[in-house]
Amino acid sequence: MDKIRIIEVKESVFSDNNKDADKLRGELKEQKTFLLNLMSSPGSGKTTFLKGIASRLKDKIKMGVMEADIDSDVDAMAMASFGVRSIQLHTGGMCHLDASMTRQGLEEFGTKGLDLVVLENVGNLVCPAEFDTGSVKNAVILSVPEGHDKPLKYPLMFQVAHALIINKIDVLQYFDFDIEKVKEYALMRNPNLKIFLISAKTGEGMDEVASWLEEEAKDWCQ
């Protein structure tokens, strides 16, 4: 296995992030690369989820993963060991990525030949929602142990998301988690939100998410 490259990305505080994000999306469209911004709290099961998606799409589209974190290369190493092209982005203490930081990562990563790039944002439900990364779609993973009230507590995250992926449904019986309530709260924040119920561990519901991502990527790359 090749050594994981670690890129130090820095926030551009003087630029207009929204304009930069729109410009980046235009460039990705020209390059025919679909960028998914994946957000969640730590411990939600992102890495297991991404391994499941990669295994389902490996013979259909070419996929890469950019792992963002304040420090460490644990997640990128995990994806690389699974055979997925990966790079680690260090944010220098920042709890999010903006469009400029995402661009730095993409330029170092190199998107040539990739249909789908997943940006695994820094783990929290606050900061990442506030900055447009230039992604084509935003998805948030909410795990059952976190509780069904998160759309009420962190409204912006669910407002900017295109898809809500409720993970760890295999442990529903052990937690006070109401599926209908979380759907109600999430759709109250964003009526157009697409909702998936999955267990990344058992594979339940993963085919549906993989199909959605494949269709979105192919539509974007046409």
Q: Is the pLDDT of residue 11 over 70?
A: no
What average pLDDT does range 34-42 have in this prediction?
A: 97
Predicted local confidence at residue 14, as pLDDT: 42
What average pLDDT does range 201-206 have in this prediction?
A: 98
pTM assigned to the model: 0.92
pLDDT tens sequence across 158-202 = 999 999 999 999 999 999 999 999 999 999 999 999 999 999 999
Radius of gyration of the chain from its Cα atoms, rounded to whole angstroms: 16
Domain range annotation of the chain: 17-221
* Bridge partners of residue 138, in order along the sequence: 37
Predicted local confidence at residue 125, as pLDDT: 95
- CATH of span 17-221: 3.40.50.300
The answer to whether the CB of 110 falls within 8 A of the CB of 66 is no
Predicted local confidence at residue 12, as pLDDT: 54
What average pLDDT does range 54-81 have in this prediction?
A: 87
Predicted local confidence at residue 5, as pLDDT: 74
What percentage of residues in the chain have a pLDDT greater than 90? 77
Predicted local confidence at residue 2, as pLDDT: 65
**Local confidence band at 117 (pLDDT 50, 70, 90 cut-offs):** very high
**Local confidence band at 222 (pLDDT 50, 70, 90 cut-offs):** confident
Which secondary structure element, helix H or strand E, spans residue 19, and what is its range? helix 17-31
What average pLDDT does range 146-150 have in this prediction?
A: 98
Sign of the alpha-carbon dihedral angle for 133, 40, 113, 57: negative
Predicted local confidence at residue 157, as pLDDT: 97
Predicted local confidence at residue 80, as pLDDT: 87
What gap in Å lies between CA 31 and CA 199, rounded to an integer?
33
What gap in Å lies between CA 199 and CA 205, rounded to an integer?
7
Q: Of 13-22, 121-130, 133-142, give the range with the top mean pLDDT.
A: 133-142
Predicted local confidence at residue 195, as pLDDT: 98
pLDDT averaged over every residue in the chain: 92
Return the beta strands (E) in the chain as ranges.
Answer: 6-8, 34-40, 63-69, 85-90, 116-120, 137-143, 163-167, 194-197
DSSP 98-131: -HHHHHHHHHHH--TT-SEEEEE--S-SSGGGGS
Q: Is the pLDDT of residue 33 over 60?
A: yes
